[in-house]
Amino acid sequence: MIKVVIFIVTVVITVAMIPLALAATARSMSTKKPRIHFVQDMDNQPKFRAQHSNDLFLDGRAMRPPVAGTVARGNLKEDSHYNLGVVNDAWATTFPAQVRVDMDLLQRGRARFNIYCTPCHGYAGYGDGMVNKRAQEILENSDPAVVKGSTWVQPKSLHEQLISEQPIGQLFNTITNGVRTMSGYAAQIPLADRWAIVAYVKALQKSQDANLNDLPADQRRDLPTIKLFKEPN
């Protein structure tokens, strides 16, 4: 009798260990099979993924090319002034008609500039943002074996004459597509906001390079005691 009990207990313990053994194997080995997925919830559906084949079509492609002669309707970005900052194959020197340059636009531009540009170019645009400070600090203080010949191109000061004299279309293009080591921001900053940043950068440049002649004559009279401005040229 006792032997039967021992036999049954041994069998039960052995069988009880099988799930644990299976779980342990599953956890320690990799497999190409999909996970066991009890509740489907429409997670798996029959469909054709990009670049897969489909025997239904003669060419065997699941992705169908557009029907011959298809013409796009709308969203063609034909307005090169607004979309590219280009007028008659040259950089635009004026804002496009869609952009109304007023205080709201400048405020919007300031907010976007402070988010997207200040990390590198600094709040005042002198190319001295935090990312630049950090990069220079790392390059100066690190072991040459760690730096391994890396270099850092300092973000340009937006007040350099060559840059402040650029037509606004070129500035728009720099923000959109980047320039040399600076990457473009078209994917992150919507079109209208890029124009707002252009307007703000122009104001920022003016703020560091204003001169008494920029003021209307009747307001100049009150100024001589304030030495904030350069003497008129």
**CA 93, CA 25: separation in Å to the nearest integer?**
69
Minimum gap (Å) between residue 117 Cβ and ligand HEC: 3
Among 105, 135, 168, 171, binds ligand HEC (CB under 6 A): 171
User: Dihedral (C-alpha) 221, 222, 226, 230: value to the nearest 10 degrees?
Assistant: -30
**CA 222, CA 33: separation in Å to the nearest integer?**
82
Our finding on whether 119 is near ligand HEC (CB under 6 A) is: yes
Q: Which stretch binds ligand HEC (CB under 6 A): 7-15, 29-37, 96-104, 151-159?
A: 151-159
In the DSSP assignment, the letter for residue 102 is S
Q: How many residues belong to the site for ligand HEC (CB under 6 A)?
A: 21
Our finding on whether 121 is near ligand HEC (CB under 6 A) is: yes
Minimum gap (Å) between residue 184 Cβ and ligand HEC: 9
Determine contact, residues 209/202, Cβ cutoff 8 Å.
no
Among 153, 186, 210, 223, binds ligand HEC (CB under 6 A): 153
Determine contact, residues 231/212, Cβ cutoff 8 Å.
yes
Name the residue among 50, 78, 112, 88 with its Cα closest to residue 169.
88
Q: Which is nearer to ligand HEC, 80 or 118 (CB)?
A: 118
Beta bridge partners of 182: 179
Determine contact, residues 158/118, Cβ cutoff 8 Å.
no
Q: Which is nearer to ligand HEC, 35 or 180 (CB)?
A: 180
Our finding on whether 92 is near ligand HEC (CB under 6 A) is: no
Our finding on whether 126 is near ligand HEC (CB under 6 A) is: no
Minimum gap (Å) between residue 96 Cβ and ligand HEC: 17
**CA 149, CA 137: separation in Å to the nearest integer?**
15
Q: Which is nearer to ligand HEC, 81 or 121 (CB)?
A: 121
Name the residue with tokens 């644990």. Answer: 20
Among 116, 167, 203, 229, binds ligand HEC (CB under 6 A): 116
Minimum gap (Å) between residue 218 Cβ and ligand HEC: 34
Determine contact, residues 196/218, Cβ cutoff 8 Å.
no
Measured at the CA of 31, the angle between CA 25 and CA 35, to 5 degrees, comes to 90
Among 82, 201, 204, 205, binds ligand HEC (CB under 6 A): 201
Chain residues that interact with ligand HEC, rule: CB under 6 A: 116-117, 119-121, 131, 153, 155-156, 158, 163, 171, 174-175, 179-182, 185, 197, 201
